[in-house]
Structure 1
Amino acid sequence: MKIGILTSGGDCPGLNAVIRGAVLKGIKAYGHTFVGFRDGWRGVVDGEVLELPREKVRGISKQGGTILGTSRTNPFDGPNGGAHNIKMTLVSLGIDALIAIGGEGTLAAAQRLSQEGLKIVGVPKTVDNDLAATDYTFGFDTAVQIATEAIDRLRTTGESHHRCMVAEVMGRHAGWIALHAGMAAGAHAILIPEQPVSAAQIATWVQEAQRRGRAPLVVVAEGFIEQGQEAAHSGRGLDTFGRPRLGGIGEKLAPEIEARTGIETRATVLGHIQRGGVPSAFDRVLATRLGMAAVDSVAHNRWGTMVTLKGTSIESIDFDTALGSLKTVPQERWDEASLLFG
């Protein structure tokens, strides 16, 4: 069987480990051959591929990014898009099945194409860890580690100048990165999309920390909505899917905190640093296992399904079950963390 692999949406540490795991198991266990589509769904629509022999994936699990490239292309757009055209492209290339690696948008497109008869298996990917159907997604552990290290560095300069430091991390709808990195770094306030908090409460936490002789540290997810506001802060227009481009809430909060507390306050946006660099050991292992499991799903004709981590086991669930609900930070995790604030 000839299998096509694509990585779509935002890049993420661990993507190359998925590719390697899939190719090695596919070749050794089943005798499959592989090609990779360039730049996600764009490569599928345009029929642009590169061969993936065993030699091509040697040593790539430790590399960040994706050797295939990625994009946010909608596979149903353009003259070559849509299920019928993509089927014809796959037939012309002699490709029997697809492994689609991506987040909710990528997997939603894979679901729709699967419903129209394409043979597809999905692999979940998001640094935000917000897919409800899997306990963890690869890339999250690396993003938390990167954010924690950066926040540790901000703390030392904040203490030197007796400043309040605000660190903005990723997290559009779910605050998992902020929660984990904030707890690991000992933040005095963690602000997440799931929990609206007033500016007055934030200032109180900051002042409590200062009174104990500490340089206050605030960690905020990009999707945090201040109490009284209707939507997350966004001043950069819309992305390709028509969603507001988030970012900048840290710069908005810093002057508010300074005005309310009188403490000099600085904000830093970590941004894409969290998605770059080499994956952690945990993410390399998880990504490799998911890639291997995806090939097993192909071998057993489990079309329209996604591989997922449940506890320490890799399982397979259908797209209908996997998609449609976000995994957000539950109240008990927020209550647990908030005892440490101030």
Structure 2
Amino acid sequence: MRVGVLTGGGDCPGLNAVIRAVVRKGIEKHGWDVVGFRNGWAGPVTGDSRPLGLNDVEDILARGGTILGSSRTNPYKDDSVDKIRATLSEQGVDALVAIGGEDTLGVAKRLVDDGINVVGVPKTIDNDLDATDYTFGFDTAVHIATEAIDRLRTTAESHHRALVVEVMGRHAGWIALHSGLAGGANVILVPERPFSVDKVVEWVLRRFEAEYAPIIVVAEGAVPEGGKEVLHSGERDAFGHVRLGGVGQWLAEEIADRTGKESRAVVLGHTQRGGTPTAYDRVLATRFGLHAVDAVAEGDWGTMVALRGTDIVRVKLSEATAKLKTVPLDRYQEAEVFFG
């Protein structure tokens, strides 16, 4: 059997751990040939691939990013599905392991419907894929954001400033919620709940009155009441997503204008998704890869491996991509106890 593997969408700590697990178990247990397609779905569309042997994955467990490269290519936007079929036929590839988030796995689901053998592995630092408790990359992103908040607190206290920390999270505020709680933020703002600038200012002033410097953590997709998302640009990717960014700077300026206090914004951006994965993400990614191989061996196409409790299970791709997993109100209300 010849199996292809690809990584699509944004890069994420732990991708290489999945690749390593697929290659090691695929070759050593099943005797498969494993092929890596470069740059997400662009690889099968163009035929850009490389063989993956044991030596190719020997030292990649701790490496961030992906040795295969990634992209936000959508083969259904350009009617390239027949090109994928041709590539798989020409290269003798019997099945694909697609590692990605909502968009990548949405394509995987459609390809299965069109008769192509695909098994999915969930990946996103946003932790917003439904049907799995956690995705690898999330723990690393939260760890990085929390460390940044810890470091920023000392400089905020030294200069008596309000600091607004913008983290990733387009439609789901899991990174903001977890890093904000772990970092002891005084305000946490998430996309799921429009925020009142007046209330934020009230919390900030309360913090200054207690002679402490306030820390506000805001997800990039958070919006003020009656407002809309702050866009970095009007460009859209192949899946129709606009590029967000700027709510942190906007909010810092609002706080400074309304309080008369110095306020600064820090955008963590892609530092959250780069570098070495945490031990938790390495283990979770490895387990996902191992169980994806089992699904391929059993011909269980159209499924995605998922974490439920401490067990790795399989769910239908249609279930995993039907809706986003967002922060529920009760989880956000737990954090509100610490606001101000």
Smaller-chain TM-score bracket: over 0.9
Q: Match of 1:18, as an amino acid?
A: V
Question: 1:61: how far off?
Answer: 1.0
Q: Does 1:10 align with 2:10?
A: yes
Partner of 1:178: 176
Q: Does 1:61 align with 2:72?
A: no
Q: Does 1:131 align with 2:150?
A: no
Matched ranges for 1:14-53 at <5 A: 14-53=14-53
Question: Per the alignment, in what secondary structure is the counterpart of residue 98 of structure 2?
Answer: strand
- Cα distance per residue 1:46-73 (max 9 Å; x no partner): 1111110011000211000000000111
Question: Per the alignment, in what secondary structure is the counterpart of residue 61 of structure 2?
Answer: helix
Question: 1:78: how far off?
Answer: 4.3
Partner of 1:233: 230
8 A Cα contact 1:45 1:75, kept in partner: yes
- Cα distance per residue 1:265-301 (max 9 Å; x no partner): 0001000010100000000000000001000000000
8 A Cα contact 1:97 1:298, kept in partner: yes
8 A Cα contact 2:46 2:83, kept in partner: no
8 A Cα contact 2:167 2:219, kept in partner: yes
Partner of 2:208: 210
TM-score by length of 1: 0.97
Q: Match of 2:234, as an amino acid?
A: G
Partner of 1:255: 253
- Cα distance per residue 1:158-188 (max 9 Å; x no partner): 1110000000000000100000101111100
Partner of 1:266: 264
- Cα distance per residue 1:290-324 (max 9 Å; x no partner): 00100000000000111100000000111111111
Q: Which of 137-146 and 150-159 deviates more?
A: 150-159
Q: Match of 1:27, as an amino acid?
A: I
- Cα distance per residue 1:233-284 (max 9 Å; x no partner): 1141122133221000000001111111121000010000101000000000
Partner of 1:200: 198
Q: Which of 276-285 and 88-97 deviates more?
A: 88-97
* C-alpha distance in structure 1 between counterparts of 2:41 and 2:264, whole Å: 40
8 A Cα contact 1:222 1:246, kept in partner: yes
Partner of 1:320: 318
Q: Number of aligned pairs?
A: 339
Partner of 2:108: 110
* C-alpha distance in structure 2 between counterparts of 1:328 and 1:322, whole Å: 13
Q: Match of 1:144, as an amino acid?
A: V
8 A Cα contact 2:125 2:273, kept in partner: yes
Question: Per the alignment, in what secondary structure is the counterpart of residue 29 of structure 2?
Answer: helix
CA 1:193–1:78: 2 relative to 1, 3 Å: closer
Partner of 2:332: 334
Partner of 1:140: 138
Unaligned runs of 5+ in 2: none
8 A Cα contact 2:145 2:268, kept in partner: yes
8 A Cα contact 2:231 2:245, kept in partner: yes
Question: Per the alignment, in what secondary structure is the counterpart of residue 236 of structure 2?
Answer: coil
Partner of 1:223: 221
Question: 1:102: how far off?
Answer: 0.5
- Cα distance per residue 1:107-134 (max 9 Å; x no partner): 0101111101000000011000001110
Partner of 2:156: 158
Match of 2:91 among 90, 93, 108: 93
8 A Cα contact 1:175 1:221, kept in partner: yes
> How big is the alpha-carbon RMSD for the aligned residues of Structure 1 and Structure 2?
1.0
Match of 1:121 among 97, 119, 122: 119
Q: Match of 2:39, as an amino acid?
A: D
Identity across the alignment (%) = 58
Partner of 2:277: 279
* C-alpha distance in structure 2 between counterparts of 1:75 and 1:15, whole Å: 21
